[in-house]
Amino acid sequence: MGVYLKKAGRNDFVILEKAGDIGGTWRDNHYPGAACDVPSHMYSFSFEQNPNWSRFYSGQAEILAYMKGIAAKYDLMPHVRVNSELLESRWDEAQGLWHLKTGNGNQYTARVVISGIGGLSRPALPKVKGLDSFKGTTFHSAQWNHDYDLTGKRVAVIGTGASAIQFVPQIAERVSKLVLLQRTPPWLVPKPDGLIHDSVKQLFKYIPVSQRLFRSSIYWQAEGFALGFINPKLMTVIEKLARWHLSNQVKDPVLRAKLTPNYTIGCKRVLFSNNYYPALARENVEVVAAGAQEIRAHSVVDAEGNEHEVDAIIFATGFDVHDPLGPLHIYDREGIEVRQRRGGLSAYLGTTLKGLPNLFMLLGPNTALGHNSIIFMIESQIKYAIQCLDEMDRKKVSVMEVKPAAQDAYNDKIQEELKRMVWSEGGCKSWYLDEDGKNVTIWPGFTWRYWMKTRRPNFRNFTFGQRPSA
Ligand code: N01
């Protein structure tokens, strides 16, 4: 967003950063083996293609360096205010301004607020008895304790999502015993990863169109997945690949049975790994096909009542997604805190919200993905927001707000589409769904459809106005 603002000649902005440095997901998730399961040439900004990616699926350090390199190249750091967690945004209807308060006691006024707070930033702990009673070491995958040496320790890992499958193979060799508490086995397919040969990097560097073509081929392959989301029957093709991968890598029928999912593939994130199953086949690894139910002073008790004595527990239990704003309180035009609104958080195109003028969201409701690069969605939203700012200038107005009817009609339509898709298939549950089973997270289907919808804002769906502050 900062780069696009600068490119548009809009230099009067600050970026509020909760932590002491930039980097978001790639700053926080530094567990062993942390990598992106979207190919790097797709998981990059369209304006900053990187011919030097070292492998097809790059690791955390390389992605973080790429992100920081962009901040440096476009001179964004002078705009960044670190240790500035936004805690309150209050719309001032008379002035047409947002009043913002941050955790360090600073206050700002802004004509426009663009939220880029992300949805997966606050680690969630399992809802189990005795969480505080453990006497050994505990930490969450997104808060990895590198000072704790796992060598020779008995370790319990709770959870088997995208994070766990990346770090379990890395630590399995070091620990004396690894107890993996698996409530639901993930569907897993091979990861077509590998180092990129120098000649390919040179090709991408000197003939940039070759990299663009490669990027498009990845994009369209990923979009193929969306066909299965729309028509779950088509997921059987991916299911066959996943079943083959399991039987190819796990020879022990008892272990294989434990690792075989019993829900429609695609309703939770499909995971990519070549080393997860082999790690589970190790002698010092025990897969417990039951979730954690209780934590005691020196052990974890599984849902079948068996007690596992361990020295450390690693929570790979994901993120708190059901209260996406966390400590942030946003007050709308009527002074109502958005959490108190009836019907929960929804947005028009996942980007603008009724009653909240001049507020744009990146990765707002129903814009997350299970199959393609989230950067594609973010860039679509950024371009949309920039066009809205330009339209306000063109109209010589200072305020714009989505019409409630437009937002409601849009959400009714996508919720109707989502009902038929894979995420609710056969009663499947995941963090994509809220407590009422409503999918408020995922974009329904092809990302090019989202791009089409956001490519040119339909300004008839907005009201515009002028306030004294302009
Ligand atoms: O978390 P998750 P994550 N006993 O919520 C389990 C992104 N990401 O950090 O399935 C035992 O997926 C829970 O079980 P169940 C990506 O969007 C991306 O792994 O609810 N287990 C589940 O297995 C991803 O979706 C990359 O039955 C318990 C696990 O904890 C998101 O982050 C890499 C339990 C939580 O899995 C979150 O992934 C990593 C209990 N009591 C992450 N309670 C990329 O490469 C919960 N669980 C892009």
pLDDT in tens, the chain (470 residues): 999 999 999 999 999 999 999 999 999 999 999 999 999 999 999 999 999 999 999 999 999 999 999 999 999 999 999 999 999 999 999 999 999 999 999 999 999 999 999 989 999 999 999 999 999 999 999 999 999 999 999 999 999 999 999 999 999 999 999 999 999 999 999 999 999 999 999 999 999 999 999 999 999 999 998 888 888 888 899 999 999 999 999 999 999 999 999 998 999 999 999 999 999 999 999 999 999 999 999 999 999 999 999 999 999 999 998 888 899 999 999 999 998 877 777 899 999 999 999 999 999 999 999 899 999 999 999 999 999 999 999 999 999 999 999 999 999 999 999 988 888 877 788 889 988 888 999 999 899 999 999 999 999 999 999 887 55
Q: Cβ(267) to ligand 1 under 6 A?
A: no
Cα separation, 155 vs 288, whole angstroms: 13
Measured in degrees and rounded to the nearest 5, phi and psi for residue 27 equal -85, -40
91: enclosing H helix or E strand: strand 86-92
Q: In ligand 1, which atom is closest to the CA atom of 162?
A: 19
Q: How far is CA 466 from CA 151, 266, 338, 349, 403, in A?
A: 64, 47, 24, 24, 16
ipTM over the 0.95 cut-off: yes
What separation in Å is there between the alpha carbon of 158 and the centre of ligand 1? 9
Q: Which of 120, 121, 310, 441 to mutate to test the pocket of ligand 1 (most atoms within 8 A of CB)?
A: 120
Q: In ligand 1, which atom is closest to the CA atom of 293?
A: 41
What separation in Å is there between the alpha carbon of 431 and the centre of ligand 1? 8
Rg of the chain, C-alpha, whole Å:
23
Q: Cβ(25) to ligand 1 under 6 A?
A: no
What separation in Å is there between the alpha carbon of 9 and the centre of ligand 1? 41
What separation in Å is there between the alpha carbon of 292 and the centre of ligand 1? 14
Comparing CA positions, the residue from 120, 45, 7 lying closest to residue 375 is 45
Q: Which residue has the tokens 């609710």?
A: 424
**How high is the pLDDT of residue 230?**
87
Nearest residue by C-alpha to atom 7 in ligand 1: 162
Q: Which of 269, 287, 441 to mutate to test the pocket of ligand 1 (most atoms within 8 A of CB)?
A: 269
Q: Which of 28, 57, 163, 423 to mutate to test the pocket of ligand 1 (most atoms within 8 A of CB)?
A: 163
Q: Cβ(162) to ligand 1 under 6 A?
A: yes
**How high is the pLDDT of residue 470?**
52
Cα separation, 120 vs 141, whole angstroms: 12
Which domains, from first to last, does the chain contain?
2-18+83-122+321-465 (3.50.50.60), 131-194+239-315 (3.50.50.60)
Q: Cβ(269) to ligand 1 under 6 A?
A: yes
Q: How far is CA 7 from CA 47, 75, 383, 388, in A?
A: 11, 12, 11, 15
Measured in degrees and rounded to the nearest 5, phi and psi for residue 296 equal -115, -175
Q: Cβ(232) to ligand 1 under 6 A?
A: no
What separation in Å is there between the alpha carbon of 94 and the centre of ligand 1? 44
What separation in Å is there between the alpha carbon of 159 and the centre of ligand 1? 6
What separation in Å is there between the alpha carbon of 81 and the centre of ligand 1? 31
What separation in Å is there between the alpha carbon of 460 and the centre of ligand 1? 40
Show the DSSP H helices in 207-249 as ranges.
208-230, 236-249
What separation in Å is there between the alpha carbon of 259 and the centre of ligand 1? 16
Confidence (pTM): 0.96
**How high is the pLDDT of residue 469?**
57
